[in-house]
């Protein structure tokens, strides 16, 4: 929802009440997708400490009632988004749902690399906001924004997988611990974090950022994340290091959203 609003702001050049209903529609579709995921993974959820108290495995709602709820959420969300953001925005939201529930969710049970194609679910929401504001889906500006969130999603998830790796293994999900040592995986994650930073540095070259102060802030944010991520390369890093890196890469994404949004606000009000 947050990145949908970002896409809208970047296309419209301002934050106005026109984003409220498209964002709400996207949120409802996303909630419906999450409930479908609970339905799909109800058996493995029951095996993991992190998810065993979710509504379905804990018995607070039946699997079929959850499925009915998901359909209601998706239908209402799709209609709301289509009527207020346009048919293309509605179609993109359904594409994201199909990609997450139909491709990524089954694939992650078979291969730990599933997150790479699965990261498309991070790239589509900004495009939903962009087209809702009347922007073209082929505009290079939204392509670089979506590409940034595509790249960001990969280390974001792998850091989460590292922190919760024991839980995932307990449920039978494939993890990188069987393919790489902790040191090797740390280097892989550092490379993807670096790729995320480099992608953020590319954003100003597409004409999205106009204020030099925002450009400088983007540079500082990238340097900050890189310096923080270097600790992953230190020998003997523990799970706490991954936990801090997970927090920091999420903070970095929020900073990018805020900086790009503030840049549009500065243009409007100066």
Q: What are the tens digits of pLDDT across the range 80-125?
A: 999 999 999 999 999 999 999 999 999 988 887 888 899 999 999 9
Could you tell me the pTM of the whole model?
0.90
User: What residues make up the domain containing 157?
Assistant: 2-269
Query: pLDDT tens digits for 133-142?
Result: 999 999 999 9
Split into its structural domains, the chain has a count of 1
Handedness of CA 42, 47, 52, 58 (dihedral sign): positive
CATH number of 34's domain? 1.10.600
| Residue 269, pLDDT above cutoff 60 | no
| Better-scored residue on pLDDT, 266 or 227 | 227
How much is the average pLDDT of 157-169?
Answer: 76
35-93 pLDDT per residue, tens: 999 999 999 889 888 889 999 999 999 999 999 999 999 999 999 999 999 999 999 99
pLDDT band at 205 (very low <50, low <70, confident <90, very high): very high
Residue 232 confidence (pLDDT) above 60: yes
**pLDDT band (50, 70, 90) for residue 175:** confident
């Amino acid at each position: 929802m947050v990145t949908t609003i970002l896409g809208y702001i970047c296309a419209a050049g301002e934050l106005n009440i026109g984003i409220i209903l498209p964002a709400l529609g996207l949120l409802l579709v996303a909630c419906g997708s999450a409930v479908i995921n609970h339905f799909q993974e109800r058996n493995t959820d029951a095996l993991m400490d992190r998810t065993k108290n979710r509504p379905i495995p804990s018995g607070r709602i039946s699997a079929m009632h959850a499925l009915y709820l998901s359909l209601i959420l998706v239908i209402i969300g799709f209609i709301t988004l289509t009527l207020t953001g346009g048919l293309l925005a509605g179609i993109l939201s359904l594409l994201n749902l199909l990609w997450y529930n139909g491709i990524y969710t089954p694939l992650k049970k078979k291969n730990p690399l599933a997150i790479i194609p699965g990261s498309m679910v991070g790239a589509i929401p900004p495009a939903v906001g962009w087209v809702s504001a009347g922007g073209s889906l082929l505009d290079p500006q939204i392509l670089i924004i979506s590409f940034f969130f595509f790249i960001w999603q990969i280390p974001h998830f792998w850091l989460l997988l590292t922190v919760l790796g024991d839980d995932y293994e307990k449920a039978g999900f494939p993890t990188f611990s069987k393919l790489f040592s902790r040191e090797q995986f740390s280097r892989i994650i550092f490379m993807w974090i670096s790729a995320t930073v480099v992608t953020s540095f590319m954003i100003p070259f597409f004409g999205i950022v106009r204020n030099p102060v925002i450009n400088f802030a983007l540079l500082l944010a990238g340097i900050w994340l890189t310096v923080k991520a270097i600790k992953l390369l230190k020998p003997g890093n523990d799970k706490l290091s991954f936990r801090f890196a997970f927090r920091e890469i999420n903070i970095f994404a929020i900073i990018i959203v805020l900086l790009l949004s503030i840049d549009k606000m500065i243009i409007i009000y100066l």
